[in-house]
């Protein structure tokens, strides 16, 4: 058995396969770009719809259109309302866009009341388009029954993440934490306004990161 001949033959076939793979990559990228360009034009009329943007977070042009809409509505992506990734079905098929509430005001040129008004506007006009997908519970007690909410992260601490959760069925707002992939309901609010004031006060006194 001539091992040198076998190795040389294999090397030649490997080179051929690399060329085929490269050619297929070029063809694939060409078709992907062509498809994305078509989808961009097909959906351009939807880019002014917050509902559509929330429910189609990965389609071509969606991310850019949502960023532009948030900037036009709120003066920037960090002025109270911030788009943040998307929720998928476990197989990375997108379900809806995620949002955070930014309540930490570091710049002297910005006003917390502006942030609050922006969050109010978002909740009053757009929270209806978000499906409750996060099931939360009282981890250490039975104080609060299990409930499925729309989650809005508002704080990141060394001890974990803090969220506001909205239950569309009852119209209730909750503060819950996420630590080591486990949720724990901390409190239930009497109203959205109470929840809004809470997260801004909480951010002032718990800014440890």
Q: Burial of 196 by CB count in 10 Å (0-12 exposed, 13-18 middle, 19+ buried)?
A: buried
- In this structure, the answer to whether residues 119 and 28 fall within a common structural domain is no
CA dist., res. 123 & res. 202, Å (int): 19
User: Model pTM?
Assistant: 0.88
- In this structure, the answer to whether residues 60 and 159 fall within a common structural domain is yes
- In this structure, the answer to whether residues 105 and 166 fall within a common structural domain is yes
- In this structure, the answer to whether residues 77 and 136 fall within a common structural domain is yes
Q: Domain containing 164: what range?
A: 48-205
Q: Burial of 133 by CB count in 10 Å (0-12 exposed, 13-18 middle, 19+ buried)?
A: middle
- In this structure, the answer to whether residues 129 and 74 fall within a common structural domain is yes
- In this structure, the answer to whether residues 37 and 78 fall within a common structural domain is no
- In this structure, the answer to whether residues 117 and 177 fall within a common structural domain is yes
CA dist., res. 184 & res. 142, Å (int): 11
pLDDT, one tens digit per residue, over 74-126 is 999 999 999 999 999 888 889 999 999 999 887 776 789 999 999 999 999 99
Quote the number of domains for the chain: 2
- In this structure, the answer to whether residues 30 and 61 fall within a common structural domain is no
């Amino acid at each position: 058995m001539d091992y040198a001949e076998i190795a040389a033959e294999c090397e030649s076939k490997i080179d051929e396969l690399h060329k085929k793979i490269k050619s297929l990559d070029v063809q694939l990228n060409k078709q992907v770009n062509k498809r994305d360009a078509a989808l961009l034009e097909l959906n351009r009329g939807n880019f002014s719809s917050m509902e559509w943007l929330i429910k189609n977070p990965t389609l071509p042009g969606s991310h850019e259109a949502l960023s532009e809409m948030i900037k036009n509505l709120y003066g920037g992506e960090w002025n109270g309302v911030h788009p943040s990734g998307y929720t998928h079905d476990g197989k990375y098929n997108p379900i809806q866009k995620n949002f955070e509430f930014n309540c930490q005001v570091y710049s002297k040129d910005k006003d917390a009341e502006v942030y609050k008004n922006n969050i109010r506007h978002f909740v009053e006009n757009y929270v209806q388009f978000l499906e409750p997908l996060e099931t939360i519970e009282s981890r250490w007690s039975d104080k609060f029954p299990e409930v499925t909410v729309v989650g809005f992260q508002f704080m990141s601490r060394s001890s974990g993440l803090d969220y506001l959760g909205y239950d569309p069925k009852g119209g209730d707002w909750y503060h819950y934490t996420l630590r080591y992939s486990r949720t724990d309901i901390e409190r239930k609010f009497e109203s959205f306004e109470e929840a809004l004031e809470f997260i801004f006060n909480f951010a002032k006194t718990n800014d440890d990161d």
